[in-house]
């Protein structure tokens, strides 16, 4: 194991363009199917028999072939086969669909360069080392290292909508100074050394090792290595945009691509309903075993004391022999195994499929703007939507739109408000054009215009923008919509550049890392050479660029969260003043950012280059080494100022949060924003109720102080708790239990400045309390860990992409849809499943209860009172369709009522509708009805059993037919009493089920060789039996009717409630 693990961690060495040993390399074949034609039946049946109930019925079926003929083996075999065949058919069709999709992908035509010539092959035949050609608007077939681009700047744009759903373009670059030679199809080629493929879409470590022929290219000496990062990697699933032709070297193919690694199932979640279903099944099995044991002991007593006194029964058997004991016990077990409803699992799956269909096709959960319906990725959690009591929510992009607008800035010790094309000084009321600002303010805006990674998209074949020559050209420039073509990885960066452009400082793009800025109305051209980009990360909370201006001065510009920028700035009064202004911005709910810069000497730049190059060629710990390298230059910064961006709230977010709180949900907002910003957004969206008792725990890390603070707050009956990231770290480490106890008493909790890992840890902390069902909702990749950790993960297909939606159990387009998802679909799904399971158990109790009562009158001989036909069709035809359809469609309240009265969600909590108390009441109802049915029938036949028109007496088969007739009628008509939402189709299904019973029985009774021959003909022509059927059915349903009337009299129905036909 250790050797294998070590081997799997060895770096990959791939020769560029090589063809040797191609047969031994992994192909680019994608396989998402679970089965092949040979493995389908054995694997599928194996997976099904892993269910304990299925395996139990298999054993019972096998045994039934070897014991006496108490009951036909087909009674166990047919339902088992029916359920398994339906399940296998469903999975087989799904797998066939996946197979067809795989074939389309694997046979797509691609162009590769082999031996210096282009060849067109099927995508599945690409191997690592192949040079793959991708043209504009083409999809990348596997993971490629970009080695050549038709663009002059040796870059290409890609859209990753198929990968993570993000619609903005990203830039992929050829490794610095690398030139793809025409000789790369021959021996002695360059080699790519990289880490084995991982599921992380946002990291890649590797290097290109150059051979001796590189000297001829003017790149460097033999053995030199060029670093490879994620910026050089074209991932499978991305689409090339704005570039006529690119060439890349295949490194990860087929199932080893990052896309396929992310497509695999990451975990298994089970609904809390599984607990009560299992509990009911165990109760039925225990009940069945008790009945079997009691009946078997009585049967032994009869064998010993009664049977010898009845010589007409023949010689008594040796009831003490091992085989006889085994056979007698199993005879009872076979007779009553019908008490365990195996087909319930099939009906539950059917209910879940329809529940998924209802959510997917709900127009109220469809967003026309993005063409996004509700998507269900885990239908086994449908009913869990009705059980949530803790909701964890991201803020940016979830409660807000993540659509940024540059509204304020603080520079030159003044607070400015951006108004169209000028700045308003809020202190003096003066208005300033860009050219009228002092030099310090102009430097600030120049810094905003260059400290970013935004690209300007040019369509293929489009000519570069000509330089304007006058002030009037400004409108021409904006008319060309250059700003609309900004492609940014962050909406913050795009908003800042749009703000600068509105003031007249327009970023025009870059060519070969030469950034071009144009200032209006002077039409002054500025150029900066970009030397390095120090990437942003959630851990660093900042990004920097190193530039050389036109005078040759080297500058480092850095922007990010004030908590990351201020500690790296020189001490000055400006830091305190800016921090004070940032706090004011945050109190308005604005997103803030600080900006600073410093100069670098040539020597400092050279030292940084050496450290960065060394760190960037390492395959292990590369990120940590690069972060250490960044720290060497991001020091002694001069603070320039701060910006404030506005992020508008999502539509109806306040109403949604209020409704969910009224429904009993406690809402936690987990965000990376600073406390003041998040707090004011919380007030604006009504997450924090006005006038509530609010408590803050900020910047507290000492365990003793934390414990004291928690106890102090707990004694004040808190309603709102606000905590920051530093404190959360200490709380999770030192006092997790006390923190959870306190937080769970609050209506709302706000946690700020959190990392993605901290979000997940908080969810885990609450999830482990067992008493709460948690849901997490977010829209970004940083929310994935939180979404996957919660009992229910809900993704929003937002501006940060679809990665959260792809990894979630449910996906919606807007936060406001959560209200309907929980209050309507969650309510209905919980109510319907509880009814489905309870009714299943009830109907099985009726039919097996009559069999148990019959044993009293057949010397406990384990004789089946019903004809085998009835047992075969009872679960499948006689009653299953009618009550399953009702379970799928029933509504205890109308949709409008559930939305108007969120408090109706509360009674569902902790599966109260399927508690053991409710289960026992249903079982009691089943026992009462089976007693009524059996003894009504027994009394009718006991003395005078001449019931037929011809004067014949009723036979044993007539007795069983009378019982099953009442059971089918009562079971179906009971649905009329328990249903809250009855449609004409429901009524039709009920009476169609009764008619199906009568038709199948009539047809079977025509078979001259059958046990029921002519029995039903006589039954349906007998007036006494029709009268018996009516009276017995009414007697069974009368108690239910009275209970329904009483319940409806005392049922609290909200105003405007509608549940009708």
- Mean pLDDT, the chain, rounded, equals 83
Instruction: Dig out the tokens for 539 from the structure.
Output: 């851990």
Of 443, 489, 779, 702, whose CA–CA distance to 595 is shortest?
Answer: 443
Show the CA angle centred on residue 299, arms to residues 297 and 301, nearest 5°: 75
pLDDT at 392 over 60: yes
- Looking at 108-122, 221-235, 798-812, 873-887, which range is the least confident one? 798-812
pLDDT at 6 over 60: no
Q: 880-889 and 956-978 helices cross at what angle (nearest 10)?
A: 10
For 688, 874, 996, the CA distances from 466, given in Å and listed in that order, are 53, 81, 80
For 391, 467, 505, 798, 803, the CA distances from 518, given in Å and listed in that order, are 48, 9, 6, 33, 37
Q: pLDDT tens digits for 639-682?
A: 999 999 988 788 889 899 999 999 999 999 998 877 877 887 88
pLDDT of residue 634: 93
Phi, psi of 19, rounded to the nearest 5 degrees:
-120, -10
Terminal-to-terminal C-alpha distance of the chain: 65
Let me know: does 392 contact 774? Beta carbons within 8 Å: yes
Position 467 confidence tier, pLDDT thresholds 50, 70, 90: very low
β-pairing verdict for 131-135 and 109-114: antiparallel
Q: Mind spelling out the 3-state secondary structure of 656-717?
A: HHHHHHHCCCEEEEECCCCHHHHHHHHHHCCCCCCCCCEEEECCCCCHHHHHHHHHHHHCCC
- What is the C-alpha to C-alpha distance for residues 13 and 615, in angstroms, rounded to an integer? 19
- Looking at 358-372, 607-621, 797-811, which range is the least confident one? 797-811
Average pLDDT over residues 38-55: 81
Q: Which residues contact 755 (CB under 8 A, 6 or more apart)?
A: 538, 539, 672, 725
pLDDT top residue among 607 and 54:
607
pLDDT at 547 over 90: yes
- Looking at 183-187, 234-238, 718-722, 883-887, which range is the least confident one? 183-187
pLDDT at 376 over 70: yes
Of 571, 593, 598, whose CA–CA distance to 582 is shortest?
Answer: 593
Identity of the highest mean pLDDT range in 649-663, 770-784, 815-829, 862-876? 815-829
pLDDT at 2 over 50: no
Let me know: does 773 contact 388? Beta carbons within 8 Å: yes
Q: Which residues contact 1019 (CB under 8 A, 6 or more apart)?
A: 958, 961, 962, 965, 1025
Average pLDDT over residues 459-480: 45
- What is the C-alpha to C-alpha distance for residues 1024 and 937, in angstroms, rounded to an integer? 12
- What is the C-alpha to C-alpha distance for residues 200 and 259, in angstroms, rounded to an integer? 9
- Looking at 244-258, 684-698, 795-809, 880-894, which range is the least confident one? 795-809
Phi, psi of 299, rounded to the nearest 5 degrees:
-60, -40
pLDDT at 288 over 60: yes
Let me know: does 812 contact 385? Beta carbons within 8 Å: no
Q: Which residues contact 647 (CB under 8 A, 6 or more apart)?
A: 396, 400, 401, 402, 403, 404, 405, 591
The alpha carbons of the chain give a radius of gyration, in whole angstroms, of 37
- What is the C-alpha to C-alpha distance for residues 819 and 385, in angstroms, rounded to an integer? 11
Report the phi/psi class of residue 925: left, alpha or beta, with left for phi > 0 and alpha for psi in -120 to 50: alpha
- Among candidate residues 394, 492, 783, 890, the one labeled active-site is 394
394 is catalytic: yes
- What is the C-alpha to C-alpha distance for residues 1019 and 947, in angstroms, rounded to an integer? 9
- What is the C-alpha to C-alpha distance for residues 625 and 607, in angstroms, rounded to an integer? 14
pLDDT top residue among 326 and 693:
693
pLDDT top residue among 993 and 65:
993
Q: Which residues contact 239 (CB under 8 A, 6 or more apart)?
A: 137, 138, 139, 140, 158, 159, 161, 162
CA 847, 848, 853, 854 dihedral sign is positive
Q: pLDDT tens digits for 49-73?
A: 877 677 777 887 787 777 656 566 7
Helix (H) or strand (E) holding 409: strand 400-411
Give the position of tokens 């190193």.
Answer: 546
Q: pLDDT tens digits for 260-284?
A: 776 544 445 778 888 888 888 888 8
Instruction: Dig out the tokens for 312 from the structure.
Output: 């007409």
Average pLDDT over residues 474-484: 54
Average pLDDT over residues 312-333: 70
pLDDT of residue 470: 39
Identity of the highest mean pLDDT range in 160-169, 672-681, 938-947? 672-681
Phi, psi of 958, rounded to the nearest 5 degrees:
-65, -40
DSSP 464: P
β-strand partners of 526: 517
pLDDT at 461 over 60: no
Phi, psi of 141, rounded to the nearest 5 degrees:
-85, -20
3-state percent helix, strand, coil for the chain, nearest multiple of 5: 50, 20, 30
CB neighbours (10 Å) of residue 324?
14
Q: What DSSP string runs through 310-356? A: -GGG-SPP-TTSHHHHHHHHHHHHHHHGGGS-TTHHHHHHHHHHHHH
β-strand partners of 722: 696, 750
CA 493 to chain centre: 29
pLDDT at 1036 over 60: yes
pLDDT top residue among 952 and 668:
668
β-pairing verdict for 390-393 and 774-778: parallel
Phi, psi of 185, rounded to the nearest 5 degrees:
-95, 5
Position 335 confidence tier, pLDDT thresholds 50, 70, 90: confident
- What is the C-alpha to C-alpha distance for residues 939 and 947, in angstroms, rounded to an integer? 13
Position 8 confidence tier, pLDDT thresholds 50, 70, 90: very low
pLDDT at 895 over 70: yes
Position 5 confidence tier, pLDDT thresholds 50, 70, 90: very low
β-pairing verdict for 720-724 and 505-511: unpaired
Q: pLDDT tens digits for 488-527?
A: 777 788 889 999 999 989 998 888 788 999 888 777 889 9
């Amino acid at each position: 194991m250790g050797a294998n693990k070590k081997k799997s961690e060895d770096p990959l060495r791939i020769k560029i363009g090589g063809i040797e040993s191609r047969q031994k390399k992994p192909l680019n074949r994608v396989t998402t199917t679970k089965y092949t034609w040979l493995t389908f039946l054995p694997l599928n049946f194996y997976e099904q028999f892993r269910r304990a109930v299925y395996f139990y019925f298999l054993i019972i079926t096998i045994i039934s072939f070897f014991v006496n003929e108490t009951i036909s083996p087909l009674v166990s075999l047919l339902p088992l086969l029916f359920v398994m065949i339906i399940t296998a058919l469903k999975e087989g069709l799904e797998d066939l669909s996946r197979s067809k999709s795989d074939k389309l992908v694997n046979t797509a035509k691609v162009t590769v360069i082999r031996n210096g010539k282009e060849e067109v092959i099927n995508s599945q035949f690409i191997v690592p080392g192949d040079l793959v050609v991708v043209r504009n608007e083409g999809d990348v077939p596997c993971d490629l290292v970009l080695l050549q681009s038709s663009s002059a700047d040796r870059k290409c744009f890609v859209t990753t909508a198929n990968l993570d759903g993000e619609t903005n373009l990203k830039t992929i670059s050829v490794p610095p100074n690398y030139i793809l030679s025409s000789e790369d199809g021959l021996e002695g080629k360059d080699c790519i050394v990289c880490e084995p493929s991982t599921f992380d879409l946002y990291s890649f470590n590797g290097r290109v090792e150059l051979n001796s022929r590189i000297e001829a290219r003017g790149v460097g000496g033999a053995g030199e290595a060029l670093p490879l990062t994620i910026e050089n990697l074209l991932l499978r699933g991305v689409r090339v945009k704005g570039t006529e032709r690119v060439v890349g070297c295949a490194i990860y193919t087929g199932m080893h691509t990052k896309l396929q690694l992310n497509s695999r199932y990451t975990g298994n979640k089970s609904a809390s309903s599984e607990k009560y279903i299992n509990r009911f099944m165990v109760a039925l099995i225990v009940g069945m075993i008790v009945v079997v044991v009691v009946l078997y002991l009585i049967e032994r007593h009869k064998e010993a004391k009664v049977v010898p006194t009845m010589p007409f029964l023949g010689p008594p058997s040796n009831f003490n022999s091992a085989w006889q004991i085994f056979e007698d016990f199993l005879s009872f077990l076979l007779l009553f195994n019908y008490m365990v409803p195996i087909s319930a699992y099939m009906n539950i799956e059917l209910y879940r499929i329809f529940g998924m269909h209802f959510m997917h096709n709900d127009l109220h959960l469809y967003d026309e703007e993005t063409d996004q319906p509700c998507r269900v990725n885990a239908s086994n959690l449908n009913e869990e939507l009705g059980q949530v009591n803790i909701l964890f929510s991201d803020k940016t992009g979830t409660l807000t739109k993540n659509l940024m607008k540059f509204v304020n800035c603080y520079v030159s010790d003044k607070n400015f408000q951006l108004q169209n094309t000028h700045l308003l000084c809020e202190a003096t009321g003066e208005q300033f054009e860009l050219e009228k600002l002092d030099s310090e303010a102009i430097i600030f805006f120049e810094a905003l215009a260059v400290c970013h990674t935004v690209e300007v998209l040019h369509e293929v074949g489009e000519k570069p923008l000509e330089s304007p020559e006058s002030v009037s050209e400004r409108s021409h420039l904006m008319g060309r919509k250059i700003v609309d073509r900004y492609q940014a990885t962050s909406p913050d960066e795009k908003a800042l550049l749009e703000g600068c452009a509105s003031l007249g400082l327009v970023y025009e793009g870059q060519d070969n890392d030469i950034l071009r800025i144009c200032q209006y109305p002077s039409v002054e051209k500025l150029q900066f050479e970009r030397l390095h980009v120090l990437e942003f990360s959630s851990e660093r909370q900042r990004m920097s660029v190193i530039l050389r201006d036109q005078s040759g001065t080297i500058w480092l510009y850095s922007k990010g969260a004030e908590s990351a920028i201020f500690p790296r700035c020189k001490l000055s009064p400006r830091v305190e003043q800016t921090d004070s202004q940032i706090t004011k911005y945050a109190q308005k709910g604005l997103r803030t950012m600080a900006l600073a810069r410093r100069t670098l000497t040539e020597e400092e730049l050279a030292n940084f280059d050496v450290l960065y190059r060394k760190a960037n060629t390492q395959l292990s710990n590369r990120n940590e080494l690069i972060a250490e390298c960044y720290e060497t230059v991001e020091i002694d910064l001069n603070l320039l100022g701060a910006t404030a961006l506005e992020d508008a709230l999502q539509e109806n977010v306040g109403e949604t949060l209020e409704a969910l709180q009224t429904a009993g949900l406690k809402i936690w907002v987990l965000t990376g924003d600073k406390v003041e910003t998040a707090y004011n957004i919380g007030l604006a969206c009504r997450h924090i109720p006005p006038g509530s008792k609010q408590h803050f725990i900020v910047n507290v890390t000492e365990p003793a102080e934390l414990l004291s603070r928690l106890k102090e707050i707990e004694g004040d009956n808190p309603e709102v708790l606000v905590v920051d990231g530093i404190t959360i770290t200490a709380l999770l480490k030192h006092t997790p239990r006390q923190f959870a106890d306190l937080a769970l008493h609050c209506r709302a909790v706000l946690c700020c400045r959190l990392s993605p890992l901290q979000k997940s840890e908080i969810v885990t902390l609450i999830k482990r309390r067992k008493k709460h069902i948690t849901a997490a909702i977010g829209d970004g990749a940083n929310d994935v860990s939180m979404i996957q950790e919660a009992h229910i993960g809900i993704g929003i297909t937002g501006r940060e992409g679809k990665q959260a939606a792809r990894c979630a159990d449910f996906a919606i387009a807007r936060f406001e849809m959560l209200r309907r998802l929980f209050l309507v679909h969650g309510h209905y799904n919980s109510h319907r499943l509880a009814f489905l399971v309870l009714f299943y158990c009830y109907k099985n109790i009726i039919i097996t209860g009559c069999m148990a009562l019959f044993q009293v009158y057949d010397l406990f001989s384990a004789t089946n009172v019903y004809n085998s036909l009835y047992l075969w069709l009872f679960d499948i035809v006689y009653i299953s369709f009618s009550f399953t359809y009702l379970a799928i469609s029933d509504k205890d309240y109308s949709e409008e009522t559930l939305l108007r009265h969120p408090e109706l969600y509360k009674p569902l909590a902790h599966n109260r509708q399927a508690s053991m108390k409710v289960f026992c009441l249903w079982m009691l109802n089943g026992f009462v009805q089976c007693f009524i049915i059996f003894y009504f029938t027994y009394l009718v036949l006991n003395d005078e059993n001449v019931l037929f028109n011809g004067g014949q007496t009723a036979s044993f088969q007539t007795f069983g037919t009378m019982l099953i007739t009442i059971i089918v009628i009562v079971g179906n008509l009971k649905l009329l009493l328990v249903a809250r939402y009855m449609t004409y189709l429901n009524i039709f299904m009920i009476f169609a089920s009764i008619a199906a019973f009568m038709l199948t029985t009539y047809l079977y009774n025509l078979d001259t060789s059958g046990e029921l021959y002519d029995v039903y003909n006589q039954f349906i022509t007998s007036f006494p039996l029709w009268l018996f059927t009516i009276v017995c059915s009414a007697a069974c349903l009368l108690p239910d009717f009275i209970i329904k009337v009483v319940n409806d009299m005392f049922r609290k129905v909200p105003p405007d409630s509608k549940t009708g036909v």
